[in-house]
Amino acid sequence: MTFGYWPVLLALFVPLGLAVWVWLQPLGQVVVPQDHGRQSNGRWWRFWLNLWQMVPCLILAVAVMLLASPRQLSVPQSKRVLTNIEFCLDLSGSMTATFGEETRFDAAVDAIAKFVDLRSGDAYGLTLFGQSAIGWIPLTEDPSAFKRAAPFIRPEQMMTSIGGGTMIGGALRQCREHLEQREEGDRMILLVSDGASADLDNGQDEIVARELQRSGIVVFGVHIGEGETPPEVASICTITGGSSFAAGDDVGLQEVFQRIDQMQTVKMEQTVADIQDFYWPFCVTGLIGLVGFILSSFGWRYTPW
Query: Sign (positive/negative) of CA torsion 216, 117, 140, 224?
Result: positive
Distance CA 20, CA 293 (A): 18
Residue 60: helix, strand or coil by DSSP? helix
What residues does each domain of the chain span?
2-26+42-73+276-296, 81-268
**pLDDT tens-place values along the chain, 305 residues long:** 778 777 888 888 888 888 888 777 765 555 555 555 565 556 676 777 777 777 888 888 888 888 888 887 766 555 556 788 899 999 988 888 988 888 999 989 888 888 888 777 788 899 999 889 999 999 888 878 877 888 888 888 887 788 778 899 999 999 999 999 888 888 999 999 988 888 898 899 999 999 999 999 999 999 988 888 899 999 999 999 988 888 877 777 878 888 777 765 555 455 555 677 878 888 888 888 888 777 777 765 555 54
* 264: nearest Cα among 115, 158, 42, 142: 115
Alpha-carbon separation of residue 164 from 115, 118, 126, 137, 155 (angstroms): 26, 31, 18, 20, 8
Helices (H), the chain: 13-24, 43-53, 55-67, 104-118, 144-149, 155-162, 168-180, 204-214, 231-240, 250-263, 280-296
Statement: the pTM of the whole predicted model exceeds 0.75: no
Distance CA 210, CA 213 (A): 5
- 186-193 and 83-90 beta bridge pairing: parallel
- What residues form DSSP beta bridges with 124? 85, 140
Backbone angles phi, psi at 3, to 5 degrees: -125, 135
What is the distance in angstroms between the CA of the first residue and the CA of the last residue of the chain? 47
* Residue 305: per-residue pLDDT: 46
- What residues form DSSP beta bridges with 85? 124, 188
* Residue 146: per-residue pLDDT: 78
CATH class as words, domain 81-268: alpha beta
Distance CA 222, CA 228 (A): 10
